[in-house]
Protein backbone atom coordinates (compact mmCIF):
# COMPACT_ATOMS: atom_id res chain seq x y z
CA UNK A 1 0.00 0.00 0.00
CA UNK A 2 1.32 3.43 -0.95
CA UNK A 3 1.96 6.26 1.46
CA UNK A 4 -0.76 8.88 1.64
CA UNK A 5 1.05 12.05 2.66
CA UNK A 6 4.40 11.58 0.94
CA UNK A 7 3.08 10.37 -2.43
CA UNK A 8 2.31 12.48 -5.48
CA UNK A 9 -1.12 14.11 -5.17
CA UNK A 10 -2.64 12.64 -8.36
CA UNK A 11 -2.82 9.10 -9.71
CA UNK A 12 -1.10 10.25 -12.89
CA UNK A 13 1.76 11.74 -10.87
CA UNK A 14 2.03 8.61 -8.75
CA UNK A 15 2.19 6.41 -11.85
CA UNK A 16 4.97 8.47 -13.42
CA UNK A 17 7.00 8.50 -10.21
CA UNK A 18 6.55 4.77 -9.58
CA UNK A 19 7.47 3.97 -13.19
CA UNK A 20 10.55 6.17 -12.86
CA UNK A 21 11.63 4.31 -9.74
CA UNK A 22 11.09 1.00 -11.55
CA UNK A 23 13.33 2.17 -14.41
CA UNK A 24 16.03 3.19 -11.94
CA UNK A 25 15.85 -0.20 -10.22
CA UNK A 26 16.04 -1.97 -13.59
CA UNK A 27 18.99 0.01 -14.97
CA UNK A 28 21.11 0.77 -11.92
CA UNK A 29 22.80 -2.60 -11.54
CA UNK A 30 24.06 -3.80 -8.17
CA UNK A 31 23.43 -1.60 -5.17
CA UNK A 32 24.23 -4.16 -2.49
CA UNK A 33 26.41 -1.66 -0.65
CA UNK A 34 23.25 -0.01 0.66
CA UNK A 35 20.61 -1.26 3.05
CA UNK A 36 16.99 -1.26 1.83
CA UNK A 37 16.32 2.04 3.61
CA UNK A 38 19.52 3.64 2.36
CA UNK A 39 18.61 2.60 -1.17
CA UNK A 40 15.32 4.48 -0.86
CA UNK A 41 17.40 7.63 -0.34
CA UNK A 42 19.86 6.92 -3.15
CA UNK A 43 17.15 5.88 -5.62
CA UNK A 44 15.22 9.10 -5.11
CA UNK A 45 18.41 11.11 -5.63
CA UNK A 46 19.05 9.27 -8.90
CA UNK A 47 15.42 9.85 -9.88
CA UNK A 48 15.82 13.59 -9.26
CA UNK A 49 19.01 13.93 -11.30
CA UNK A 50 19.04 11.03 -13.80
CA UNK A 51 22.61 10.47 -12.61
CA UNK A 52 23.40 6.85 -11.81
CA UNK A 53 26.80 7.80 -10.37
CA UNK A 54 25.10 8.48 -7.06
CA UNK A 55 24.94 4.70 -6.70
CA UNK A 56 28.32 4.62 -5.02
CA UNK A 57 28.84 8.31 -4.34
CA UNK A 58 26.35 8.33 -1.47
CA UNK A 59 27.69 7.39 1.93
CA UNK A 60 25.83 6.93 5.22
CA UNK A 61 26.72 6.93 8.89
CA UNK A 62 25.48 3.66 10.38
CA UNK A 63 22.76 5.47 12.36
CA UNK A 64 21.76 8.02 9.71
CA UNK A 65 18.45 6.55 8.56
CA UNK A 66 17.14 5.76 12.03
CA UNK A 67 18.27 9.14 13.34
CA UNK A 68 16.52 10.91 10.46
CA UNK A 69 13.28 8.98 10.94
CA UNK A 70 13.24 9.66 14.67
CA UNK A 71 14.01 13.36 14.16
CA UNK A 72 11.20 13.80 11.64
CA UNK A 73 8.79 11.79 13.78
CA UNK A 74 9.29 14.18 16.68
CA UNK A 75 9.04 17.26 14.45
CA UNK A 76 12.67 18.36 14.60
CA UNK A 77 13.42 21.57 12.68
CA UNK A 78 15.35 21.51 9.42
CA UNK A 79 18.06 24.16 9.11
CA UNK A 80 19.18 24.70 5.52
CA UNK A 81 22.13 26.63 4.17
CA UNK A 82 20.08 28.13 1.32
CA UNK A 83 16.46 29.07 0.68
CA UNK A 84 16.22 26.69 -2.28
CA UNK A 85 16.09 23.68 0.03
CA UNK A 86 13.26 25.16 2.08
CA UNK A 87 11.30 26.04 -1.07
CA UNK A 88 11.85 22.60 -2.58
CA UNK A 89 10.51 20.65 0.39
CA UNK A 90 6.82 19.71 0.29
CA UNK A 91 4.88 21.78 2.82
CA UNK A 92 2.08 19.19 3.26
CA UNK A 93 4.66 16.48 3.93
CA UNK A 94 6.48 18.63 6.47
CA UNK A 95 3.33 19.83 8.22
CA UNK A 96 2.13 16.24 8.64
CA UNK A 97 5.03 15.73 11.05
CA UNK A 98 5.12 19.27 12.44
CA UNK A 99 8.52 19.91 10.86
CA UNK A 100 9.54 23.53 10.22
CA UNK A 101 12.29 24.75 7.89
CA UNK A 102 14.70 27.61 8.51
CA UNK A 103 17.42 29.46 6.62
CA UNK A 104 19.20 32.70 7.44
CA UNK A 105 21.39 33.26 4.39
CA UNK A 106 19.54 36.47 3.45
CA UNK A 107 19.11 37.75 7.00
CA UNK A 108 20.29 41.37 7.34
CA UNK A 109 22.09 40.70 10.63
CA UNK A 110 23.83 37.71 9.08
CA UNK A 111 25.00 39.76 6.09
CA UNK A 112 26.21 42.59 8.32
CA UNK A 113 28.13 40.26 10.63
CA UNK A 114 29.72 38.43 7.70
CA UNK A 115 31.06 41.76 6.43
CA UNK A 116 32.33 42.77 9.85
CA UNK A 117 34.13 39.47 10.48
CA UNK A 118 35.09 38.89 6.84
CA UNK A 119 33.44 35.47 6.83
CA UNK A 120 30.77 34.01 4.57
CA UNK A 121 27.06 34.52 5.03
CA UNK A 122 26.75 30.74 5.34
CA UNK A 123 29.00 30.70 8.40
CA UNK A 124 27.05 33.47 10.09
CA UNK A 125 23.74 31.86 9.13
CA UNK A 126 24.66 28.66 10.96
CA UNK A 127 25.83 30.67 13.96
CA UNK A 128 22.48 32.42 14.05
CA UNK A 129 20.65 29.10 13.80
CA UNK A 130 22.74 27.90 16.74
CA UNK A 131 21.91 31.03 18.74
CA UNK A 132 18.22 30.37 18.11
CA UNK A 133 18.57 26.80 19.39
CA UNK A 134 17.65 25.25 16.06
CA UNK A 135 20.75 23.12 15.54
CA UNK A 136 20.50 21.16 18.79
CA UNK A 137 18.52 18.04 17.93
CA UNK A 138 17.68 19.42 14.50
CA UNK A 139 18.40 18.29 10.96
CA UNK A 140 21.14 20.28 9.23
CA UNK A 141 20.73 20.34 5.44
CA UNK A 142 23.64 21.69 3.37
CA UNK A 143 23.51 21.56 -0.41
CA UNK A 144 25.41 24.63 -1.51
CA UNK A 145 27.86 26.13 0.99
CA UNK A 146 30.80 24.09 2.29
CA UNK A 147 31.55 26.82 4.82
CA UNK A 148 28.15 26.21 6.42
CA UNK A 149 29.02 22.57 6.87
CA UNK A 150 32.47 23.36 8.23
CA UNK A 151 30.97 25.81 10.73
CA UNK A 152 28.56 23.18 12.03
CA UNK A 153 31.45 20.74 12.38
CA UNK A 154 33.37 23.36 14.37
CA UNK A 155 30.40 23.90 16.69
CA UNK A 156 30.19 20.15 17.24
CA UNK A 157 33.94 20.00 17.92
CA UNK A 158 33.49 22.70 20.56
CA UNK A 159 30.73 20.60 22.17
CA UNK A 160 28.41 23.53 21.59
CA UNK A 161 25.76 21.60 19.70
CA UNK A 162 24.67 18.13 18.64
CA UNK A 163 22.31 17.90 15.65
CA UNK A 164 20.17 14.81 15.16
CA UNK A 165 21.35 14.40 11.57
CA UNK A 166 23.50 16.24 9.04
CA UNK A 167 22.67 15.93 5.35
CA UNK A 168 25.96 17.20 3.95
CA UNK A 169 25.88 17.49 0.16
CA UNK A 170 27.47 20.81 -0.86
CA UNK A 171 28.37 21.06 -4.54
CA UNK A 172 31.39 22.79 -5.99
CA UNK A 173 35.12 23.05 -6.46
CA UNK A 174 36.33 24.90 -3.35
CA UNK A 175 36.13 22.94 -0.08
CA UNK A 176 33.05 20.95 -1.13
CA UNK A 177 34.75 17.55 -1.22
CA UNK A 178 36.95 18.40 1.75
CA UNK A 179 34.03 19.47 3.96
CA UNK A 180 32.26 16.19 3.25
CA UNK A 181 35.39 14.20 3.95
CA UNK A 182 35.61 15.93 7.32
CA UNK A 183 31.97 15.15 8.05
CA UNK A 184 32.49 11.48 7.17
CA UNK A 185 35.05 11.25 9.99
CA UNK A 186 32.43 12.28 12.53
CA UNK A 187 31.21 9.47 14.77
CA UNK A 188 29.10 11.31 17.36
CA UNK A 189 26.49 12.76 14.99
CA UNK A 190 24.82 10.76 12.18
CA UNK A 191 25.28 12.03 8.63
CA UNK A 192 24.75 11.29 4.96
CA UNK A 193 26.95 12.69 2.21
CA UNK A 194 27.73 12.64 -1.49
CA UNK A 195 31.42 12.06 -1.99
CA UNK A 196 33.50 14.40 -4.14
CA UNK A 197 32.41 17.56 -5.90
CA UNK A 198 28.88 16.49 -6.77
CA UNK A 199 26.00 17.64 -4.60
CA UNK A 200 23.39 20.36 -4.54
CA UNK A 201 20.10 21.47 -3.09
CA UNK A 202 18.12 19.13 -5.36
CA UNK A 203 19.88 16.14 -3.83
CA UNK A 204 19.28 17.34 -0.29
CA UNK A 205 15.59 17.84 -1.01
CA UNK A 206 15.40 14.37 -2.55
CA UNK A 207 17.09 12.78 0.45
CA UNK A 208 14.77 14.55 2.88
CA UNK A 209 11.66 13.59 0.89
CA UNK A 210 12.82 9.99 0.99
CA UNK A 211 13.27 10.25 4.75
CA UNK A 212 9.77 11.70 5.06
CA UNK A 213 8.41 8.73 3.10
CA UNK A 214 10.29 6.27 5.28
CA UNK A 215 8.96 8.00 8.38
CA UNK A 216 5.40 7.82 7.14
CA UNK A 217 5.79 4.13 6.32
CA UNK A 218 7.10 3.52 9.85
CA UNK A 219 4.19 5.51 11.26
CA UNK A 220 1.63 3.51 9.28
CA UNK A 221 3.15 0.18 10.32
CA UNK A 222 2.93 1.25 13.96
CA UNK A 223 -0.79 2.09 13.71
pLDDT value for 20 = 86
Domains identified in the chain and CATH numbers: 57-222 (3.40.50.10230)
Q: In whole angstroms, what is the distance from residue 125 CA to residue 176 CA?
A: 18
pLDDT at 18: 83
Number of continuous H segments (helices) and E segments (strands) in the chain: 11, 6
DSSP per-residue letters across 198-210: ---HHHHHHHHHH
Residue 107 predicted with pLDDT over 50: yes
47 is catalytic: yes
**Residue 130: predicted pLDDT:** 98
The pLDDT-based confidence of 221 (bands split at 50, 70, 90) is confident
Do residues 173 and 179 touch, judged by C-beta distance below 8 A? no
Residue 219: pLDDT band with limits 50, 70, 90: confident
Residue 1 pLDDT greater than 50, yes or no: no
CA distance 58 to 52: 11
Evaluate whether 170 touches 180 at the Cβ level (below 8 Å): yes
Q: Average pLDDT in the 167-172 region?
A: 97
Q: Of 7, 2, 94, 93, nearest to 44 (Cα)?
A: 7
pTM as predicted: 0.93
Contact 33, 58 (CB under 8 A): no
**Residue 72 pLDDT > 90:** yes
Catalytic residue among 31, 47, 73, 102: 47
**In 28-170, which ranges are continuous DSSP H helix?**
36-49, 54-57, 64-73, 83-88, 91-97, 108-117, 121-131, 146-157
Amino acid sequence: MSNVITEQLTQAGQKIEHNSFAIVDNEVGSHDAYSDSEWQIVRRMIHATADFEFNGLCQFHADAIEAGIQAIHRGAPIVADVEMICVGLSKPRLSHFGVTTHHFIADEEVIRQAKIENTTRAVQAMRKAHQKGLLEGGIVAVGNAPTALLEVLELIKQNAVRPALIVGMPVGFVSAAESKEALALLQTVPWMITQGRKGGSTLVVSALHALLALTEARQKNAD
